[in-house]
Each structure stands twice: as structure tokens, then as C-alpha cells.
Structure 1
Amino acid sequence: MAGTGVRLTLLVLSSLGFWTLWGFPLKNNLLHFLGELSEPGASIPGPVYAPMKQSFTGIGPLDKQLTTLVGFFYTAIDGNRIDISLTFLNLGSQVLAAWILITTESYRVGNKDSFIIKSITLFGLSVAIVGYACVAPIWFMLHLWLSKATKNPKDYNLVLDQPIRLALAPVATIIGFGIPSVVMALPAPSVLSFEAKQNWTAIQQGWPLWIYLAQKALETLASWSDPMVSMRTEQQKRAETVKYMRRAYLFALSSSAFAHLTYTGLGLVAWFAPEMLSTKLQVQLSPDNFFIPPNPFSDVTATTLPNGALWFLQWDLIIGTLATMVWGVAVALYRKGNQGSLEAWVSALIKYGLIAAAIGPSGAAVTAIWGRDELVLKSKTE
């Protein structure tokens, strides 16, 4: 699969993402259900009645968008549908793992002249608004086209300009993404009020901006504690790049593997040992409901908002993470100079497909890019 073929594949995946996340929801009534949340007297989705909050900022268009997003994600965090919650957990964790890879690419010396590769906060906001399956394949396609670090994977291109930034990235990600996500998932009304839960869900939607602000704050603190932290020799940069890269990639692998194993493990229990679960969980986690979304080109309709939300998350997970793995494999094959070899692609997809089955597709992408980095950088530090 030559470079053009990979980029075309990613473009097709993005097109499919736009259909499954926007065209299909328009047909299956999900967007209709979400639109009703902005009407006077609307209640939060689910069996419990509580007013749907419709004013968050005082800015009409922004509040309407936040009402839609909060109503959508509320179905994943209210505790009534474990199938939606587990799919959301897996999707969020796979995106988080990919985010570490994307952040690393934005810090490489070889990519410092590319506005698109460096502007990851804009990318993240696009993901939050449009959907990972829509936006991520486009970013991956542009990265493969524009990245000097990928097309010419030499140590001087892969090294980080300021390695300390990658050392701080997992912490910034936990602060900006992890903390709001955990807080919004706290139960209501026992821990949070229904209004507070909706407020935190709205706050979580700005996660790319919160990560950016946390990163900048941490970098400022690092420069205060060590004024020379951003001034390193080339040898020091290589050594610190390898050290901090390993820590960041381990963080990404942990994120991908934990959620993937939880998601698939419970799904497999429902498949092979359903008697271990309650009747409600057997229905929600049945393979034809939990693992397999409906055909997005069929005329199937959602009878409730949660059903449509599940289908949305399933397709976002499938398409977005498949694009992530394809990108990771493509980056790894560039180092070997055989990205155009069909045999190399088949072998790599089998290898990383098995890894994806064990630790998740984003985890497979991490292992692919990590292996490339080790081979190129480690030899220069020994």
C-alpha cells in the first residue's frame, strides 16, 4: 500500500466517519432526540426526571451546542446503561492514548515547521465538536503527507526540541482530560446535584483547551525551578527524548489496554458466561448489541436517545481507532522504506491486529511508533 493508498484509505475512513456520526444519526432520529433537549421543559435523558440545563455561558449558539453535547454524554455517565458507559470509556481511553502520540509528533524537530501538525489544540477542539472518526483520519492523512519526521525518520528529525514538554504532557492530560471526566461521572444526586453533573459535563467538553492551559502552566513551573530546562545540548536532547518518550508511551499503553480489556472482558463474559450477569446486563452486553452496531446504510431507527447514542459511540470507536492503527503502522513502515509493499502491509496488519486485540487499536499504534523511535533514537544514545 503506497503512501497515496494509505492517505486515500484514511480519507475514505473520514468520509465514513462523517456519515456514521452525522448522516446516520439524522436518519435514525438521534439528532431529533438531541434537538428536543433544547426545547422548554426538557428533561435529562434517562428514567430519572431532572430539568435539562440549557444555559451554561449566556451565549445562545454556544449554549445550544453544549446542551446537545451534555445531553448526549449524559447517557454514558448516568449509570443506567452499562453498554453505553463501557463504549464511552473505551473510546475516551483510545483517544487519550492517540492524543499522546499526536502530542509527541507535534514536539518533534522534524515537524516544527508544520502548522497543522503543531496545532493539536485546534485538532482536539474539532474532535470534541465534530467527532474523532471524522477528524482524526484527516489529521493522520495530513501528517503522513507533511511530516518530515515520518518521511525522513532520522534521529535529528525524531528528537524533541524541548523534551521536558513531553515529560509534562501526561500530567497535563490527566489534569485537563482526566479530572473533568472523573468528576462528571460521579453519581447524581448522591454525590453531585443534577445541575452540577451537567455543569461538569459541559466543562469536560473543552478538554483540549484545559490540556493546553495545564501544559503551559506546568512548563512555566518547570522553567522557574530550572531556568536551563529548555536549553540542552543535542546529546542531552536525544537522551531525554528517549527517557521521556518511554514514560509517555507507557502512559498511553496503559490507557488503551485498561479500557480495552475492561470493555472486551465484560463483553466476552456476557457472550460465554451470561449466567454470571443480571438479566438487564445480559441484554445490554449481548454481542449483537454491545460489539456490533447496526448497518449505517440501513433504515433502522432509534426508539430512544440512549440507543442512538450507543450506535454513535460504537461507530466513532470502530472507525476512529482503525484509522489510528493504520496511521501507526504506516509511520512504522516508513522507517523500513517498504510502505509501498503489499507483503509488508499484510504482515504488519496481522501483527498489529493481534496486538490491537490484546491492548486496543491505539495501543497497537503506540507499539508501532514506539518501536520505530527506539530503533532510530536509542542507537544514538548508547
Structure 2
Amino acid sequence: MTFAFATPLICGLQLGCSVTARLPNADNIRVPRVVLAVLPLMFLIGYMVPTQAMVIPAPSLMSIDMKQIAIAIWQPWPAYVSILTTVAYYVLSPFFPNNHRASMSGLRWVYASAFANATLTHLVSWIVSLATVAVPGLFNEQYLSDLHPSKVFAIPLPWSGAKVETVAEGVHYFLRWDYLIGSAGVLLWALTLYSVAHKQILSTVSWPGLLVKVAVLTILTGPTGAAVELMWERDELVFKETGGSRQQAIKDKKSL
């Protein structure tokens, strides 16, 4: 399944079936501390390593056959991350006792890592592409056309009658739509969870301000970066208002 199909489907199922989407609280959204501690590293191993192997130039540094094998190995990277994280959970759990402060620190580290990864890839893509217009002298002439913003980011409309000349160009068209639809689904999912949490906990959502923030974040960090930021803010709100120090204060007050 492609990103454009699987991601909106999974997000939609989560919104419709999970209590964490409808009634989030500190208990039902809590992630084991050990998972928070190891997840960035597991992502690095399970995703970044296969990705780096996949992007090695062929045939200059690897054969075409090896390139195809590397691409095939890269495909199930979510399974690698999931399996590695599960193994780490069972092996390392005894070394990570429950601690709210440490768990919140781990949660912020996970979100910061995800936000940095999404933002850096978004900015690097735009900076490199825009540099071909601003300072074309930095690039070899044979790459200027391929890296031009109109070539990299323009979305060919299905009814435009555009025809591809090579398989690579067709794959490029497909991947642009794949990313656009999939990332839009992630952003809509995060926006929904954010708004539901605010309505439930604060009884209000400032839609004009929220939409402006989402637009600015999408421009600066990309749609997935914006989604990460919304989820980060949502989780911070849920833990602050329904758990942790606030929950302890309520318990202390009741005991008086």
C-alpha cells in the first residue's frame, strides 16, 4: 500500500475507533517510558540506515541489481522500527521504572526529534531547489533543470494532459501526488485530534488563529512538521490538564 492510501486510511480508522481520539486523557495516551527513550534511535536504525543504503548512486557506487535490492529492503521500514521498538520494550523495561517527569522529558525528546526530521527535510528540499534560481552558479549545468522548483515541486494535474517521457518521470509524478495526499491526511488527522482535545478540555478552539498557525507551520516546516507540532501541543495539553502535577494536586486537595 502506498503512503497516499495507507496513511489516511489508518488515520481515519484511529479517529473513528480509538478512545484516545474521542476522549484523550493522561492515562489512555501515555506511552511506556522505555518506548519514548528508544524510539528516536529505533527510527534512526530502522528508517535512516535503509534510506541511506537506498540512495547510494547506481551504477557508480553500486550495481543496478543491488540498487533494486536496497529499494526492496527499504520498503518495510515501519516494520523494522516496530519490531526493534517492541524488542527494546521487553528487554529494557526493567531499567525504566515509571516516572512522570522522566516520561514527559522522553515525550518531548521524541517530538523534538520528529519535528527536526520533518523540518530539516522540508527546508533542505526547498533551499536546494530555490538555490538553482538564486545562485545557479553553484550547480553543474546538467542538474539545474532537474532541481528547478517548477520541476521538483510542480504538481501535474490529472486532467492537464501531461505525458511522461520516461519511467523515472512517471515515478516522480506519482511520488509527488503520493506525498501530497498522504501528508494532507496526516495533517488533517493531527488537526482533528488537536481540536477535539481542546474542545474537551478547554471547551473552545480558536479556529482563525489555529488555521493561520497551521498555514505558517506548513510553509516553514512542511505538512508533516505542522502535524508533529499540533500533536505535541495536544499531548502537552492533555498531560497538563488531566495528569501529572495537576492530578496529584487534585488528589492532595481531596485528601485534606
State whether TM-score is above 0.5: yes
Structure-1 residue corresponding to 2:123: 261
Partner residue, 1:184: 54
User: Does the 8 Å CA contact 1:293/1:315 hold for their aligned counterparts?
Assistant: yes
Where does structure 2 lack aligned partners over 5 or more consecutive residues? 246-256
Give me the whole-angstrom Cα distance separating, in 1, the residues matched to 2:231 and 2:54: 32
- Answer yes or no: is 1:354 the counterpart of 2:224: no
Between the aligned partners of 2:134 and 2:6, the Cα distance in structure 1 is 36
Give the C-alpha shift of residue 303 in structure 1: 0.9
* Equivalent in the alignment of 2:238: 376
| 2:45 matched residue in structure 1 | 175
| Residue number in structure 2 paired with 1:140 | 11
Matched residue, 2:35: 165
CA contact (8 A) 1:181 1:204 kept: yes
Distance in 2 separating the partners of 1:334 and 1:132:
25
2:175 to 304, 313, 327: 313
Residue of structure 2 equivalent to 1:210: 80
Q: 1:290 aligns with which of 143, 152, 157?
A: 152
Q: What are the Cα deviations for residues 223-267 of structure 1, in whole angstroms up to 9, with x where unaligned?
A: 4xx3x64x64xxx3x434312211111110111011101111122
Alpha-carbon distance change, 167 to 347 in structure 1, aligned in 2, over 3 angstroms: same
CA–CA distance in structure 2, aligned partners of residues 208 and 349 of structure 1: 30
**Alpha-carbon deviation of 1:189?**
4.4
Count residues in correspondence: 241
For 2:22, the aligned partner's letter is K
1:244 aligns with 2:114: no
Match of 1:157, SS state, is: coil
Alignment of 1:6-155 (within 5 A): 130-155=1-26
Q: Deviations over 1:259-292 (max 9, x none)?
A: 1011111222234444543332221122322211
1:364 aligns with 2:226: yes
Change (3 A) 1:325 1:284: same
For 2:141 and 2:70, locate their aligned partners in 1 and report how far apart those are by CA, in whole Å. 32
- Relative to structure 1, is the Cα distance of residues 167 and 149 closer, same or farther in structure 2, using a 3 angstrom cutoff? same
| C-alpha distance in 2 between matches for 1:213 and 1:159 | 20
2:254 maps to none
Alignment-mate amino acid for residue 216 of structure 2: L
Aligned structure 1 segments of 4 or more residues deviating by more than 4 angstroms? none
Q: Which runs of 5+ in 1 are unaligned?
A: 1-129
Partners of 2:177 and 2:133 in 1: CA distance: 21
Alignment of 1:325-364 (within 5 A): 325-337=187-199, 344-364=206-226
> Is the 8 Å Cα contact of residues 169 and 215 (structure 1) preserved in structure 2?
yes
Report the Cα offset of residue 190 of structure 1. Answer: 4.7
Structure 2 vs 1, CA of residues 184 and 291 (structure 1 numbering), >3 Å: closer, same or farther?
closer
CA deviation map 1:311-351 (0-9, x unaligned): 1111112221122112212111112218xx9x844432221
How far residue 302 of structure 1 moved from its aligned partner, in angstroms, is: 0.8
**Deviation digits for residues 91-125 of structure 1, max 9, x if unmatched?**
xxxxxxxxxxxxxxxxxxxxxxxxxxxxxxxxxxx
- Aligned AA (1:179): V
Q: 2-side partners of 1:184 and 1:207: how far apart?
A: 12
Match for residue 301 of structure 1?
Answer: 163
CA displacement at 1:153 relative to structure 2 = 2.3
The 1:192–1:217 alpha-carbon spacing in structure 2 relative to 1, beyond 3 Å, is farther
| Separation in 2, partners of 1:206, 1:330 | 28
